[in-house]
């Protein structure tokens, strides 16, 4: 029960952040960023939302199967959002908040992408590891 409550709470917070960050970018940052920076920011928002949906799917699948691979996928999607989308958010606004000397932000993006891939791989593995899924 504790895992499910933690997952649902995390899902709700991640959803609230996706809406808030997207609105902030559309209304607060639009006049302050170049078209390229805004495009980078919006890519972060898009992948945040895509993987929020993946987390939602994972949560529902976990309720059905109680499979650890699904749980691993859920948390991999979250880490991917933080690293992939989070790094894109920071890279797009780094001049505004004086993060221009932080070169480590760039490599976080592909690491976050790998976390997304691992999340989907975990969901695939769960199909073969679960007793609740049959042909």
Pair of tokens at residue 65? 């199967």
pLDDT digits (tens, 9 = 90+) for 9-47: 999 999 999 999 999 999 999 899 999 999 999 999 999
Segments forming the whole domain that contains residue 29: 2-129
Residues 6+ away with beta carbon under 8 Å from 75: none
pLDDT digits (tens, 9 = 90+) for 53-106: 999 999 999 999 889 999 999 999 999 999 999 999 999 999 898 888 877 878
Cβ pair 104, 67 in contact under 8 A: no
In a domain, 74, yes or no: yes
Structural domains counted in the chain: 1
In a domain, 135, yes or no: no
Residues in the chain: 135
Give the model's pLDDT for residue 101.
82
Cβ pair 33, 41 in contact under 8 A: yes
Tell me the pTM: 0.92
| DSSP character string of 47-61 | HHHHHHHHHHHHHHH
In a domain, 103, yes or no: yes
Give the model's pLDDT for residue 132.
58
In a domain, 134, yes or no: no
Cβ pair 51, 77 in contact under 8 A: yes
């Amino acid at each position: 029960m504790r895992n499910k409550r933690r997952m649902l709470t995390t899902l709700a917070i991640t959803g609230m952040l996706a809406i808030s960050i997207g609105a902030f970018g559309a209304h607060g940052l639009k006049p302050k960023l170049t078209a390229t920076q805004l495009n980078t920011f919006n890519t972060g928002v898009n992948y945040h939302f895509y993987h929020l949906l993946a987390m939602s799917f994972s949560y529902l699948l976990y309720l059905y199967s109680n499979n650890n691979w699904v749980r691993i996928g859920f948390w991999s999607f979250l880490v991917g959002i933080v690293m992939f989308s989070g790094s894109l958010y920071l890279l797009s606004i780094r001049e505004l908040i004086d993060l221009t000397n932080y070169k480590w932000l760039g490599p976080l993006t592909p690491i976050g992408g790998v976390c997304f891939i691992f999340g989907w791989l975990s969901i695939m593995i769960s199909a073969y590891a679960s007793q609740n899924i049959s042909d």
